[in-house]
Amino acid sequence: MSGISLQDISKRYSGSVLAVDDIDLEIESGEFVTLVGPSGCGKTTTLRTIAGFEKPTAGTVHIGGKDVTDAPPYERNTGMVFQDFALFPHLTVHENVAYGMEADGGYTDEEIDARVAEMLELVELPGTGDRKPDQLSGGQQQRIALARALAPKPDALLLDEPLASLDKKLREQMQVELRRIQQEVGITTVFVTHNQEEALTMSDRLAVMNEGKFEQVGPPGDVYNEPETRFVADFIGTANIFDGDVTQTEDGYVSVDCGDVEVESTATRETAVGDDVSVVARPERFNFQSSTDDDRDENVFTGEVTFRRHLGSSVEYRIETAEGREVVVVRPSGLDEHEPGEQVTVSVDADNCRVVST
Amino acid sequence: MATETSTSDGGESGRAGLKQNAKYYILSYPLAWLVFVFLAPLGMLFMFSFWVHVPGTGYTAGFTLDNYARFFTSSLYVQQLWVTVELALVTAVVSLLLGYPLAYYLARIDRPWLRNVLLITIISSLWITYVIRAYAWQVILASRGILSSLGVATGILGSHQSFYPGYWGLVVGMVYVFLPFMVLSLYSSIRNLDGELLEASKNLGAGPVRTFRRVTLPLTKNGIASGTALVFILALGAYVLPRLLGTPNQRTLPVLIEQQIMSESNYPFGAAMSVLLIVVMLVFLWALIRITNVSAANIGGAEGVTGEDETSTTSGPGALSGLWSRLGGVVAATGLSRVYGSVASAVSDRVEAVDSDTRESVIGTSFRVYVAAVMLFIAAPLGIIVAVSFTPEEFLTFPPGGFSTRWYVEFFTDPAWVRSLVNSLTIAAAAALLSTSIGGILAFTLDRFDYKFGSLIGTFGVLPILVPPVIIAVAFLVFFLQIGLTGTRTGIIVAHGIFYAPLPFILITQGLSELNRTYEEAAMNLGASPVRTIRTITYPLLRANVVSGALFAFILSLNEYIIAWLLSLFLVKTIPIQIFNQLRYSYPPTIAAASTVFILLTVVVMTAINRLSGGIWE
Ligand SMILES: Nc1ncnc2c1ncn2[C@@H]1O[C@H](COP(=O)(O)OP(=O)(O)O)[C@@H](O)[C@H]1O
Ligand SMILES: [Mg+2]
* CATH code of the domain in which B446 resides: 1.10.3720.10
The percent of residues above 70 in pLDDT, for chain A, comes to 98
The percent of residues above 70 in pLDDT, for chain B, comes to 81
User: Which H helix or E strand runs over B130?
Assistant: helix B130-141
B374 against B357, higher pLDDT = B374
Position A142, amino acid: Q
| Helix, strand, coil percent content, chain B, rounded in steps of 5 | 80, 0, 20
Distance A194 CA to ligand 2 centre (A): 8
In a domain, B618, yes or no: no
Least confident of A209-213, A226-230, B2-6: B2-6
Chain A: nearest CA to B519, how far in angstroms? 5
How many structural domains comprise chain B? 1
Which pLDDT tens digit goes with each residue over B518-531?
999 999 999 999 99
In a domain, B14, yes or no: no
Distance, in Å, from the CA atom of A160 to the CA atom of B525, rounded to the nearest integer, reads: 13
Cis peptide before B165 (omega within 30 of 0): yes
In a domain, B3, yes or no: no
Alpha helices, H only, B449-488: 454-466, 469-483
Closest CA to A212 of A347, A19, A63: A19
A68 against B116, higher pLDDT = A68
Least confident of A31-35, A303-307, B115-119, B575-579: B115-119
Which pLDDT tens digit goes with each residue over B538-564?
999 998 889 888 988 998 899 899 999
In a domain, B327, yes or no: yes
Is B322 in CB contact (< 8 Å) with chain A? no
Closest CA to B20 of B314, B451, B437: B451
Spatial CB neighbours of B84, under 8 Å, sequence gap ≥ 6? B236, B252, B253, B254, B280
Which pLDDT tens digit goes with each residue over B170-202?
999 999 999 998 998 888 888 877 666 666 766
Q: Is the pLDDT of residue A321 over 50?
A: yes
Q: Is the pLDDT of residue B338 over 70?
A: no
In a domain, B2, yes or no: no
By the 10 Å C-beta count (0-12 exposed, 13-18 middle, 19+ buried), A266 is classed as: middle
Is A14 in CB contact (< 8 Å) with chain B? yes
Which pLDDT tens digit goes with each residue over B579-605?
999 887 777 888 889 889 988 888 888
Q: Is B556 left (phi over 0), alpha (psi -120 to 50) or beta?
A: alpha
Is A52 in CB contact (< 8 Å) with chain B? yes
- pLDDT value at position A277? 92
Q: Is the pLDDT of residue B214 over 70?
A: yes
User: Which H helix or E strand runs over A216?
Assistant: strand A213-218
- pLDDT value at position A164? 86
Which domain covers residue B132, as residue numbers?
Answer: 35-47+64-388+410-613
In chain A, which residues have their Cβ closer than 8 Å to the Cβ of B529?
74, 103
- pLDDT value at position B315? 35
A203 against B395, higher pLDDT = A203
Which residue among A9, A17, A43, A196 is best mutated to probe the pocket of ligand 1, counting the most ligand atoms within 8 A of its Cβ? A17
Q: Is B28 helix (H, G, I), strand (E, B) or coil?
A: helix
Report whether A277 contacts A256 (CB < 8 A): yes
- pLDDT value at position B341? 56
User: Which H helix or E strand runs over B521?
Assistant: helix B517-525
Around Cβ A41, how many Cβ atoms within 10 Å?
A: 23
- pLDDT value at position B332? 36
- Domains, chain A, in order of start with CATH, read 4-230 (3.40.50.300), 240-356 (2.40.50.140)
- pLDDT value at position B616? 46
Is A79 in CB contact (< 8 Å) with chain B? yes
Distance, in Å, from the CA atom of B221 to the CA atom of B202, rounded to the nearest integer, reads: 20
Distance B373 CA to ligand 1 centre (A): 57
Q: Is the pLDDT of residue B313 over 50?
A: no
- pLDDT value at position B545? 86
Cis peptide before B399 (omega within 30 of 0): yes
By Cβ distance, the residue of A54, A72, A86 closest to B522 is A86
Around Cβ A60, how many Cβ atoms within 10 Å?
A: 14
Q: Is the pLDDT of residue B335 over 70?
A: no
Alpha helices, H only, B300-335: 301-310, 315-326, 330-334
A72: nearest CA partner in chain B: B14
Distance A215 CA to ligand 1 centre (A): 18
Which pLDDT tens digit goes with each residue over A14-31?
877 899 999 999 999 999
- pLDDT value at position B119? 85
Under 8 Å CB pairs connecting chains A and B tally to 85
Which pLDDT tens digit goes with each residue over B245-292?
988 888 899 999 999 888 888 889 999 999 999 998 888 877 766 665
B209 against A60, higher pLDDT = A60
Mean pLDDT of A106-131: 93
What's the whole-number average pLDDT of chain A? 91
Inspect the interface and report whether the beta carbons of A72 and B524 lie closer than 8 Å: yes
By Cβ distance, the residue of A53, A74, A77 closest to B528 is A74
Which pLDDT tens digit goes with each residue over B476-521?
998 998 888 888 999 999 999 999 999 899 889 988 988 889 999 9
Mean pLDDT of B413-436: 94
- pLDDT value at position A130? 94
In a domain, B17, yes or no: no
In a domain, B116, yes or no: yes
Report whether A249 contacts A272 (CB < 8 A): yes
Angle in degrees, 0-180, between the axes of helices B221-236 and B315-326, rounded to the nearest 10: 100
Which pLDDT tens digit goes with each residue over A333-356?
888 888 899 999 999 999 999 999
Q: Is A318 helix (H, G, I), strand (E, B) or coil?
A: strand
Mean pLDDT of B139-158: 82
Q: Is the CB of B4 under 6 A from ligand 1?
A: yes
Q: For chain B, give me the number of helices (H) and strands (E)? A: 33, 2
pLDDT confidence bin for B19, thresholds 50/70/90:
low
Least confident of A3-7, A202-206, A296-300: A296-300
What's the whole-number average pLDDT of chain B? 80
> How many angstroms separate the first and last alpha carbons of chain A?
40
B463 against B193, higher pLDDT = B463
Q: Is the pLDDT of residue B20 over 70?
A: no
In a domain, B22, yes or no: no
Q: Identify the nearest ligand to the CA of A82 by its number.
A: 2
- pLDDT value at position B149? 81
Spatial CB neighbours of A149, under 8 Å, sequence gap ≥ 6? A79, A80, A81, A100, A157, B525, B526
Inspect the interface and report whether the beta carbons of A51 and B525 lie closer than 8 Å: yes
Chain A, window 269-288: residues with a beta carbon less than 8 angstroms from a chain B beta carbon: none
Distance, in Å, from the CA atom of B183 to the CA atom of B379, rounded to the nearest integer, reads: 14
